[in-house]
Every structure is written in structure tokens, then in C-alpha cells.
Amino acid sequence: QVLLEESGGGMAQAGGSLRLACQASGRAFSNLRMGWFRQAPGQEREFVAEAYFSGFIEYKESLKGRFTVTRDNTKSTVWLQMDNLKPEDTAVYYCAARPTGFGAAWEFWGQGTQVTVYP
């Protein structure tokens, strides 16, 4: 079992920044690929980014340049830095983890943290 503890989030004005953190425990961090997802009201949950143990980061194309993910394997933590926020970034943001390996499902999820961006 993997426990994901999220922190950060809150409210920001459009153009501002917020940073989310997610710390994992319960399994070797090297065996996990870490992801960020978000779900806006009335919408499906969508992929934001994925961080591999190697440091490679995959982003949702439309968020490149504004969102940055970093991963610290020594701290079993990933961060999501969100800059130049827009009202449409308002959503509940979730940290997720899945085992390494082709086709693995996102098995573990954080509790979610609310991000609200106002004009």
C-alpha cells in the first residue's frame, strides 16, 4: 500500500503561482511513477503530468511552460509548481502513483487539494 500526502493549494489570483507537494510512503519510491491529475467541477479527471524515477517528466501538452513538476527521490516527494495561473486551472488536484512497468494502472491516489484561481 502507498500513502500519498498532499499539501499546498489554496487560492490565487490569475497570473499568480501556487505550489503543491506530494509525499509518498509505504513503498520504495524508486518503484513508483508519480503523477498529477486534476478535476474541475462537472468535468472528467484529467492528466496533468507524470514524473519518472529517472527525472523524466511528461506533461499535458497545453500546460507545458506554465506547470513544472520536480521529483526528489531522496525525499519521496514530487512538487507541482503552477505559474501564470488562469481561472480555468481551478480544480481539485490529485497526486497519484503507479508501479513502474508498461501499462501499470494508477493504483494509489492522494486525497486531493483544491486550487481556486480568481480573475
Q: Is the dihedral of CA 67, 109, 106, 25 positive or negative?
A: positive
Cβ neighbours for 60, distance < 8 A, ≥ 6 positions apart = 46, 47, 48, 49, 67
Q: What are the tens digits of pLDDT across the range 50-103? A: 999 998 999 999 999 999 999 999 999 999 999 999 999 999 999 999 998 878
Q: Which amino acid is at 28?
A: A
pLDDT of residue 65: 95
Q: What are the tens digits of pLDDT across the range 88-98? A: 999 999 999 99
pLDDT of residue 75: 95
